[in-house]
């Protein structure tokens, strides 16, 4: 939090953002960005009061850059803490695309989905029965619709749009379904199969393995969240690989780290922004992908 003298320093810098010399402005910008989130309130206050188009533009760019840096730092922290909680990343992505995104509203919707499913679960259910319960809550009670007509435009990836319309693309639908399954502590993981985000339910009765140790034999069945949570076997993956002329790879059958699933999510969003000609946002998602370091 800024001290009184710190606030005066920020306000003094803000008062000079109309500087015509690009070199001097670059220095001012760097100093303002160094205040990070503490600079946001005075920047927003100045932006709301500004009438000069150059000042309005520069203040807006400064706020956007600070918000992006905060999101990048949160993504790094999420990775460092074990990449748990997929909804966290979906919230970060939505905030990057829509600065007015109300995270608490959608966190409440997540918690309601989880609670409704949790109340129907018990330790005596088989793996298939657990998924049947989750499917009932997700698709029947909460009425999420697996609509093949949805397109891979940017908005289709946002959790806010998905939870409002109850429709999204295969990636956003799969991410939300997987997030709820993991909140329920079900041994369900994403599978990095190109073209479709499918999930694997593994035999985790004894919890002796980490995710890198699973083989095909450990997978009890697969789940397609974009087809109302339909359950299927590896033979259907093999058929799909042949149909789309992919080179057979073992990883197409194995559970993957959440970090890899999120990396895939960000890549798809980066491509969606590129298709729409939004070079700034496409570049920002390229930057987010750098947070993965050796995971990439």
Q: Which of 115, 104, 97, 225 is nearest to 172 (CA)?
A: 225
Q: Which of 180, 164, 163 is nearest to 229 (CA)?
A: 180
pLDDT of residue 296: 41
pLDDT of residue 207: 62
Sorted by where each begins, the domain ranges of the chain are 4-80, 86-295
Bridging pattern class, strands 198-202 and 219-224: antiparallel
pLDDT of residue 149: 67
Helices (H) and strands (E) in the chain, counts: 12, 5
Q: Structure pTM?
A: 0.90
End-to-end, the C-alpha distance of the chain in Å comes to 35
pLDDT of residue 213: 86
Bridging pattern class, strands 230-232 and 255-256: unpaired
The two structure tokens encoding residue 61: 């760019």
Token pair 């991410």 is at which residue?
175
Residues of the chain with pLDDT under 70: 149-150, 206-209, 294-296
pLDDT digits (tens, 9 = 90+) for 97-107: 988 899 999 99
Decide: 266 and 285 in contact? Cβ < 8 Å: yes
Beta bridge partners of 256: 190
Decide: 95 and 75 in contact? Cβ < 8 Å: no
pLDDT of residue 118: 97
């Amino acid at each position: 939090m800024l001290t009184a003298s710190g606030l005066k320093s920020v306000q003094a810098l803000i008062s000079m953002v109309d500087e015509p010399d690009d070199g001097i402005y670059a220095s001012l910008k760097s100093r303002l960005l160094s205040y990070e989130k503490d600079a946001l309130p005075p920047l927003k206050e100045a932006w709301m009061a500004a009438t000069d188009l150059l000042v309005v533009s520069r203040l807006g760019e400064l706020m956007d850059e600070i918000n992006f840096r905060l999101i990048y730092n949160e993504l790094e922290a999420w990775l460092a803490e074990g990449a748990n909680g997929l909804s966290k990343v979906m919230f970060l992505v939505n905030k990057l695309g829509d600065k007015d995104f109300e995270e608490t509203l959608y966190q409440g919707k997540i918690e309601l989905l989880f609670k409704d499913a949790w109340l129907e679960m018990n330790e005596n259910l088989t793996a298939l029965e657990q998924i049947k319960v989750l499917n009932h809550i997700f698709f029947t009670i909460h009425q999420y619709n697996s609509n093949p007509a949805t397109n891979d435009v940017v908005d289709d990836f946002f959790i806010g749009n998905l939870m409002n319309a109850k429709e999204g693309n295969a990636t956003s639908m799969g991410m939300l379904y997987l997030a709820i399954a993991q909140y329920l502590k079900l041994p369900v993981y994403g599978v990095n199969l190109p073209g479709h985000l499918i999930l694997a339910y593994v035999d985790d009765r004894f919890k002796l393995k980490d995710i890198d140790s699973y083989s095909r034999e450990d997978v009890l069945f697969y789940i397609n969240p974009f087809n109302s949570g339909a359950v299927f076997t590896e033979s259907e993956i093999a058929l799909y690989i042949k149909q789309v002329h992919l080179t057979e790879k073992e990883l197409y059958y194995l559970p993957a780290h959440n970090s890899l699933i999120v990396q895939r999510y960000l890549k798809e969003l980066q491509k969606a922004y590129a298709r729409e000609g939004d070079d700034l946002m496409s570049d920002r998602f390229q930057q987010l992908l750098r947070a993965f370091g050796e995971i990439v």
